[in-house]
Structure 1
């Protein structure tokens, strides 16, 4: 890509990142919808070849751009969540029951069904079908901002009273923060299936290394880095190191890079490490204003990166990214968005007891379950998974994978972007009416 065009693209995205949130505040339309449309329109212009990005030819650029966008978003998600989580407390663990059901039940079912549809309907090879299911299963932490919690609560007099009061937003936010920990093992599974010839060659390795070891390492690294940074920021004996007192919010960006880099170096899941690091930072001095300062910086950077990626995706769509999309791909894509995710999530949310009703509205009624099941937004994470896997192994049907995934993302961005605001307002009205 031409360097001059990069400056132009970033400048345009930055301008839109400043203007769009306020311009669209009163309409049922999200900024990602507008940016994707602008990208599609820009792609129709006679742009020179050197400024266009192809997912196949420019895979490395796309991989690193989406990788950085996702880890920035995961830090923002972790800092935004108010509900504490401590594995030493069973009561705290149970308060996340909605999240565990979405992760342990809905997501594996979604991966399995999507992989089966990829194999049976699209005719993908087994490894490509598994990659297809893994890439399109996670709820995206980047594009789901309209249905996620807004940010950390820091104005409570008693830190023990800080908690989420909107179970729908909490469920979707926490799911988006954690489901990469389950998607990545299946991406690795697809890569192992490509290279192996028998089950014995990859089965044991996948279970013990990709599913268990890398997850444990990711959690451990994130917790250690988050604890060390929180201790330094809030309780260091040296005033110059206590960044919570100086109000320097760039510690959040340092936390992103340190936790992700450390986890990847020791072969753990970096995405999981970043989220755990953010949650650990958030757990110390939970009512401090410093958390809001860090979240604000991360949120603005995330918004800029998201708009850049969506502009690039829109241009690629106009430039022929959907050329390999067949009617079978359209059918599978619509089924994933309108049937597979809603049904699997709804079934998962029906399993087990309701969370304890401690704050009055922290449970999922029928309306809340439907909304939570519906908003399984697919997005930038899916692009990263495809770029990551196809750059390391020789998958078949790569053009079909990219075309169908791009179609699913585009439909999800538009459908969920248009419906998010009215649906959440509808739920708020019912919640307020019930409270009266």
Structure 2
């Protein structure tokens, strides 16, 4: 990427300009900002043939780190804006989505990958793991509003809290896919030692470490910021929000915990300290604007990569389109409906929560992270990028159109 630095800056300019003028366009068009950004990228990538080819496989490390940064900023923003305290009754839908819906989605998507695209067990499991989480970046349009707003309806709260936690909770399955792919380079058997090591380290330890670090960082920084000796309103919200993000993530990763879980939990724990204070609104505004800038860049680059692929003749079979629609319109809604069973939710709210499993930038991060390990077959790696890209662009357009309608339906607003 360094040799194309000036081109990269030019793309940044296009992305940020569109983000700045988005309110003007969105008042006149039935489109969302992510849809506009992808369309811009597609147009540039398809027509600007002299631009360097943006292969996600050849630029795997860049894709991983850029998407990781976007997700981190989105997670801290999601944790800061939750008004609802940690009460079991209120969090029950979220728990169901994490413990029932997400595993069901992973199994169903892995089966589709294995039986329709003939992916190996490890690659099929990876497909399910990277597509299962609700994206905290692109799902911002259906999340709760700024801190201390007019209240949080159940659909928005459930989708926000799910997106904040399931990016970290999908990681165990990504690690399992990597371990299986490594194991299958020498034998076709999944050993008990592999499963035991995965469960104790990648499930129990990493999740627990992420939770503990998140609570500790959020509480400690919260007490410092809101102490009697600190005039918290004079503290730069930029420094504070970045400190929460990087300290939680860095410490969790240092002890081999899940940094994504730590960041969301740290932001939530920080919010519970003086949770009515206006300072949280300032933090949220900074995080939201930073997220918007980074999201604009990623989506325009994503659109450019798709446009270049189309102009170069990348083959997209009907199976790719069919499976993408099945994942978006059948697998997630059905798994969500099953996961929320027995909670006595109104049917409109239950259907809205189940249907709006938006896929996005988190998928690209997980996929790049796993493929950068170098244990997956190159042909399968290419297939995975194609499938995931079509699912994500399908989610951007399908959910971009349906999300406002479903939110109005569930809340009864006009």
Provide the TM-score with structure 1 as the length reference: 0.89
Quick one: distance in 1 between partners of 2:161 and 2:24? 26
Query: 2:8 maps to what in 1?
Result: 6
Query: 2:36 maps to what in 1?
Result: 34
- Where 1:96 maps in the other structure, the secondary structure is helix
Structure 1 outlier segments of 4+, above 4 Å: none
Query: 2:226 maps to what in 1?
Result: 234
Structural mapping, 1:60-99, within 5 Å: 60-85=61-86, 92-99=87-94
- CA deviations on 1:123-155 (whole Å, 9 max, x unpaired) are 10000000000000000000011111111116x
Q: Indicate conservation of the 8 Å contact 2:108/2:331, yes or no.
A: yes
Query: 1:277 maps to what in 2?
Result: 266
Query: 1:332 maps to what in 2?
Result: 323
Quick one: distance in 2 between partners of 1:330 and 1:12? 29
Structural mapping, 1:196-211, within 5 Å: 196=183, 197=187, 198-211=190-203
- Where 2:14 maps in the other structure, the secondary structure is helix
Q: Indicate conservation of the 8 Å contact 2:348/2:409, yes or no.
A: no
Q: Please, which of 383, 387, 401 is the counterpart of residue 384 of structure 2?
A: 401
Q: Please, which of 345, 348, 353 is the counterpart of residue 372 of structure 1?
A: 353
Q: CA deviation at 1:181?
A: 2.4
Query: 2:407 maps to what in 1?
Result: 424
Q: Please, which of 140, 147, 155 is the counterpart of residue 168 of structure 1?
A: 155
- Where 2:47 maps in the other structure, the secondary structure is coil
Query: 1:157 maps to what in 2?
Result: none
Coordinate RMSD, CA, aligned: 1.7
Quick one: distance in 1 between partners of 2:366 and 2:393? 16
Structural mapping, 1:56-205, within 5 Å: 56-85=57-86, 92-153=87-148, 164-196=151-183, 197=187, 198-205=190-197
Quick one: distance in 1 between partners of 2:289 and 2:25? 16
Change (3 A) 1:293 1:112: same
Q: CA deviation at 1:49?
A: 4.3
Q: CA deviation at 1:47?
A: 4.0
Q: Indicate conservation of the 8 Å contact 1:79/1:282, yes or no.
A: yes
Q: CA deviation at 1:268?
A: 0.5
Q: CA deviation at 1:329?
A: 2.0
Query: 1:245 maps to what in 2?
Result: 233
Unpaired runs of 5+ residues, structure 2, are none
Q: CA deviation at 1:431?
A: 5.8
Change (3 A) 1:376 1:291: same
Quick one: distance in 2 between partners of 1:153 and 1:23? 29
- Where 1:124 maps in the other structure, the secondary structure is coil
Q: CA deviation at 1:398?
A: 0.7
- CA deviations on 1:392-432 (whole Å, 9 max, x unpaired) are 1321211110000000000000010112223323333x268
Deviates more, 1:221-230 or 1:39-48: 39-48
Provide the TM-score with structure 2 as the length reference: 0.93
Change (3 A) 1:431 1:11: closer
Unpaired runs of 5+ residues, structure 1, are 86-91, 155-161, 355-363
Query: 1:415 maps to what in 2?
Result: 398
Q: CA deviation at 1:13?
A: 2.0
Quick one: distance in 1 between partners of 2:74 and 2:155? 19
Q: CA deviation at 1:27?
A: 4.7
Q: CA deviation at 1:10?
A: 1.9
Quick one: distance in 2 between partners of 1:247 and 1:340? 46
Change (3 A) 1:296 1:399: same
- CA deviations on 1:190-249 (whole Å, 9 max, x unpaired) are 001011243224100111100110000001111111111111110163x3xx4x231521
Q: CA deviation at 1:25?
A: 4.4
- Where 2:85 maps in the other structure, the secondary structure is coil
What is the count of residue pairs matched by the alignment? 402
Quick one: distance in 2 between partners of 1:229 and 1:22? 39
Change (3 A) 1:194 1:78: same
